[in-house]
Amino acid sequence: MKHNGLSDSFKMQTKFIPYGKQDINNNDIESVIEVLKSDYLTQGPQVAKFENKICSFVESNYSVAVNSATSALHMACKALGLEKGDFLWTSPITFVASANCARYCGANVDFVDIDISTGLISLEKLEEKLEIARKNNCLPKILVPVHLAGTSCDMRKINELSKRYKFKIIEDASHAIGGFYESKPVGNCQFSDIAIFSFHPVKIITTGEGGIATTNNESLYKKMNLFRSHGITKNEDQFLFESPGPWYYEQQSLGFNYRITDIAAALGQSQLKRIKNFVDCRNQNHKTYKNLLNDSQYNFLEIKDNVRSSLHLTILSIKGINSSQHKNYFMELRKRNIGVQLHYVPVHLHPYYRKLGFKEGDFPQSEAYARSSFSLPNYPKLSQKEIIYIASEIEKIWKTL
């Protein structure tokens, strides 16, 4: 390979540095092997064990583990009774799944623009939009605040608005396990109906594919539990009809097969043991970036004092750059084997959502954010040397823009 005109440090960096990556150790591997040798690969004891451990970790009463956070979002919307004619609101700066879950239920989606300094849903805009919706009699049934980058939204304030305007709250905490809000773990549902987490390999802890919903509401828990497995119960106490015999099981609603395997649930338990270390490493990496890139053109998303972010993402925006400079930055960094990424393409600008009537200009702060931001590599095994390399290449490219 030839790298014309590029720096020495680039020549040294031959391995691609992704923006995120799992951390698997021998204990993780052993825990999976143990399940493979056991009687149950699925519907065995590991799933409930994993759920219990997540409940104690996030301090929620109940949890339902499933095969992805996308499934968890769908299940949560169903449990909250979202249906045709209803509205679900979320942020445009999220993964499409936060909005798609409403579409699965036949409901409508709308968005609330972000606060560009935090990247999170703007509470001023939310309040304004709710007031208009109240007058027009089209208040949302569900709001999905997204804890972008692992940084919790202001849940106390969102909870106050939910009481005033009578909507339900599903926290999309896909990025945020291991994070805290007002010194309490994200997912404790003090200010929401349900919280969901993702265990995709780029997230804080992984089960391969996987997700979980947490709640303190027993009735929501029971609904989600049924929904995960076809709407079927084998629990005699819950039967609607009298059991004709020991073979009997009962389908009570229309569910899906969203079950997680015991293999994945065992990996999740093993990963959970190291979560504090993972989050500490991510916070340390983030701090190193901030110390190295401390000129005024570099903006990192703001984290409020009452939040401890899990720092799933380190998102940098560069003040005053235009879209072509933004694109150049991406291309130059990728050339240098630095896997920067945009989190996210504003959801309303995807062809699917444009077809539903959304267009450019609808959410100006989200669009401005997407023209100037990128996620820098951040994961536990990222070395300080790699961070120094990345930061120095960012500075060099800035000078050539």
Point out which residues bind ligand PLP (CB under 6 A): 68-70, 94-95, 97-98, 146, 172, 174-175, 198, 200, 211
Output 89 or 95, the one with its CB closest to ligand PLP. Answer: 95
Residue 56 is encoded by which pair of tokens? 């104690």
Residues 6+ apart with CB under 8 A from 162: 143, 168, 169
* CB nearer ligand PLP, residue 198 or residue 375: 198
Across the beta sheet with 142-144, what order do the strands follow? 62-66, 211-215, 194-198, 168-172, 142-144, 87-90, 108-111
Rank residues 93 and 391 by Cβ distance to ligand PLP and give the closer one: 93
Closest distance of CB 197 from ligand PLP, Å: 8
Q: Is there a contact between 109 and 359 (Cβ–Cβ < 8 Å)?
A: no
Nearest to 198 by CA among 249, 125, 285, 271: 271
- Amino acid residing at 199: F
Q: Which is nearer to ligand PLP, 200 or 282 (CB)?
A: 200
Least Å distance between CB 349 and ligand PLP? 16
* Closest CB 66 distance from ligand PLP, rounded Å: 9
Q: How far is CA 159 from the centre of its chain?
A: 19
Residue type, 279: V
Question: Which ranges of 3-91 does DSSP label H, i.e. alpha helix?
Answer: 8-12, 26-36, 46-58, 69-79
Which among 146, 267, 262, 257 is positioned nearest to 199, based on CA atoms? 267
- What's the min distance (Å) between Cβ of 101 and ligand PLP? 9
| In the complex, least distance from residue 119 CB atom to ligand PLP, rounded to whole angstroms | 12
Q: Are 229 and 250 in contact (CB under 8 A)?
A: no
The single-letter DSSP state of residue 280 is H
Tokens standing for 10?
């680039």
CB of 386 to ligand PLP, least distance (A): 23
Q: Which is nearer to ligand PLP, 57 or 344 (CB)?
A: 344
Q: Is 144 helix (H, G, I), strand (E, B) or coil?
A: strand
- Compute φ and ψ for 135, nearest 5 degrees: -65, -35
Within 133-228, strands assigned E span 142-144, 168-172, 180-181, 184-185, 194-198, 211-215
Residue 74 or 336 having the CB closest to ligand PLP: 74
Name the residue among 163, 146, 157 with its Cα closest to residue 197.
146
Structure tokens, 21: 């990556």
Give yes or no for a contact between 207 and 264, defined as CB atoms under 8 angstroms apart: yes
DSSP designation for 151: P
* Shortest CB 375 distance to ligand PLP, Å: 11
Q: In the complex with ligand PLP, which residue's Cβ is closer, 198 or 233? A: 198
At its nearest, how many Å lie between ligand PLP and the CB of residue 47?
A: 16
- Residue 209 or 332 having the CB closest to ligand PLP: 209
In angstroms, give the least distance from the CB of 298 to ligand PLP. 24
Smallest separation (angstroms) from ligand PLP to the CB of 282: 15
Q: Given the complex with ligand PLP, which of 129 and 312 has the nearer CB atom?
A: 312
Smaller CB separation from ligand PLP, 6 or 96: 96
CA distance 331 to 388: 19
